[in-house]
Each structure stands twice: as C-alpha cells, then as structure tokens.
A = this chain, B = another copy of it.
Amino acid sequence: MAKLLYSVGMSLDGFIAGPGGDMSWLADRIGPNPAVDRLVDETGALLVGNRTFRGDDPYKGTEGEGEAFGGGWSGPQFVLTHHVPDVPVPGVTFVGDLAGGVAAAKAAAGEKYVNVLGASVARQCLEAGLLDEILVCVVPVLLGDGVRLFDHPGGTRVGLERVDVTQAPHATNIWTRVVR
C-alpha cells in the first residue's frame, strides 16, 4: 500500500525557507541529489496544498519543495481546496478534506509513495497521524531566521525511526519513519 511522505530541504538550524520565503540558499547549495532523483521514480501521486498549487504560498518554500516535481511531473495530483475551480485541470483532482485527499492519493499511487507538497499540508498530515515518512535533506548553512520545519508552537512530541542516511555532495539526507 502507498505511503505518505514529506520530503523537504532544511538548513542545519531548522529552516525550510529563509526570511520572506527566500529559497536561494537551497538552490545554491543542494546540488545534485540522487536520493531525491530516486524519489521521483518511486512517487505515484502528489498531495498538494492549494496555495502551493496556485503558486502563491506566502513564502515561496514550495519552489524548493516542489523542485524535483516541477515541470516534469505528469502523474496524478490531488489538490486540497475548499473551492474547486470551474474549469477542470487535466491530471488534477480537487479534494475538500484531508483524510479523503490522502485516501484518494494513496489509491492512485498504488505501491508507490504519495509525496506531500506544501509545509502546511505536511503539518496537517503529521498532526492527523496520516504521515508515514519524512525525508529531510539537511543543507550546510545557518539561515538564522525564516520558516521552520513543522512550525506549530505547543506541538507535541512525535517519535521517528531512522530508515536511511545518504550524502549528496552538499546535503545530508535523513530518511525517517513516523512511529505510531
């Protein structure tokens, strides 16, 4: 059965985007990353936040997050939204609730991964106990300020199990499984 994965680039001090949504630090430093390339092959569907889909996330983290799945992705996409557009978009299914969207994306992905695009959707999936795995590509830079991974003050502890560590020329990929 498909698993729900969130993959994201992060600075060593825990930011997934710099101040004002700056993603230049990631583009500058991440370089070739075979683990992410492989992930594209292992992905069967995308679960995408609406703002990420529309490209107007308040921070542009989505550019970095979606990079590997940018222009090249032709598989099914499930976009979470309360307002389904009037004109259908080929390859895109609009879904109104998280659990329903996850279930539909998993069904479409078959034995492959459903990759979550969008920090807010990823956090919602984590909090709802729906997220199966997290791949963090730790980039050697301190940003000092910006958008935090899973930023939710008062959040609770979630156990993880390390599955795999690989090294790209710059980034260190820490692949983990959510323990339930």
Contact = CB atoms under 8 A, between A and B. Distances in A.
Interface residues of A, number: 37
A141 interface: yes
Nearest to A176: B140
Copies in the complex: 2
A53 interface: no
A145 B155 CA distance: 6
A25 B160 contact: no
A13 interface: yes
A149 B170 CA distance: 20
B153 A145 contact: yes
Contact of A141 (B136, B145, B148, B159): B159
A67 interface: no
Contacts of A160: 12, 140-142
Interface in A148-169: 148-150, 152-162, 165, 167
Interface of A: 10, 12-15, 18, 25, 126, 134, 136, 138, 140-145, 148-150, 152-162, 165, 167, 170, 172, 174, 176
